Amino acid sequence: MSGVLRADVPPVALTIAGSDSGGGAGIQADLKTFAAHGVYGLSAITAVTAQNTVAVTGVQEIEPELVSSQIAAVVSDFPVGAAKTGMLSSAAIIRAVAKAVDDHELRVVVDPVMVAKSGDRLLRADAVDALRDDLLPRAALLTPNVPEASDLTGLRVENEDEMQAAGERLLGMGPRAVLMKGGHLNGDAVVDLFLEGGRVVRLRGHRIHTRATHGTGCTLSAAVAANLALGRTLPVAVKRARQYLRTAMLRAAPLGQGHGPLGHLPPPS
């Protein structure tokens, strides 16, 4: 990490992720989330996607060397307090990002993005091993949803006990903490599990019945990174990020014909 944060300089966070032309997920969601927290946002784009609330119709990956160059350029000039990853697309990009995390001593929240809300795949099948072996051990926090946790562990995840078993297996793969997101399970309550060391904390909330769910994973992980950049501890960052996500879901405008975007920013006064 470079630079020393002064009192008159805002906190800084970096997102390493894909671009969403619909603005609801990826880089765009992350930067809006950073801004909502008063955090200055930097970006390193890993892929450009053509997508909206209904489907992903095209993907163009960025060369791994350019991904590395983007990270090096901003880290050399800004005091990055925290980083997060989203869509990484390929094994080569994952390895480049993992090396950058080491080279620049980044504190990174890893959102293991595999499939878009529309069901379109955003991580190549042959890149899952690289994600598991090269990036997970470098994560300050891993934030998988139920399908992602199942893909990474090979375990069936259909209830809270199985969520915990998958979370514990993921914790054994090297991340310092895991936030298991339970939104894919059935029920009026949503239960997330925060695992750190030997501790498991159940975080409960009422389910919000809305179609504005595009970019929820991106937004949550970005909010955790923003709170870390603001100097908060990881457990506090997770709790505040969950609160922010709920607020963003509740104030979402009815945009798009599919899974709509969140209301990341408050309405103008």
- Tell me whether residue 15 is one of the annotated catalytic residues: no
Q: Has 53 been annotated as catalytic?
A: no
Which range, of 7-11, 76-80, 162-166, averages the lowest pLDDT?
7-11
Annotated catalytic residue, options 33, 49, 85, 213: 213
Q: How confident is the model at residue 9 (pLDDT cuts 50, 70, 90)?
A: confident
Instruction: Name the region of 151 (left: φ>0; alpha: ψ -120 to 50; beta: rest).
Output: alpha
The pLDDT of residue 1 is 44
**pLDDT digit string, tens, across residues 65-113:** 999 999 999 999 999 999 999 999 899 999 999 999 999 999 999 999 8
Average pLDDT of the residues in 187-206? 91
- What length does the chain have? 269
Backbone angles phi, psi at 130, to 5 degrees: -65, -40
Active site residue 239: no
205 catalytic residue (yes or no): no
pLDDT band, residue 2 (cuts 50/70/90): very low
Q: Read off the amino acid at residue 78.
A: F
Rounded Cα–Cα distance for residues 153 and 157 (Å): 10
The pTM of the full predicted model, rounded to 2 decimals, is 0.93
Catalytic residue check, 218: yes
Q: Please check the confidence at residue 244 and state whether its pLDDT lies above 60.
A: yes
- CB-CB contact of 183 with 157 (8 Å): no
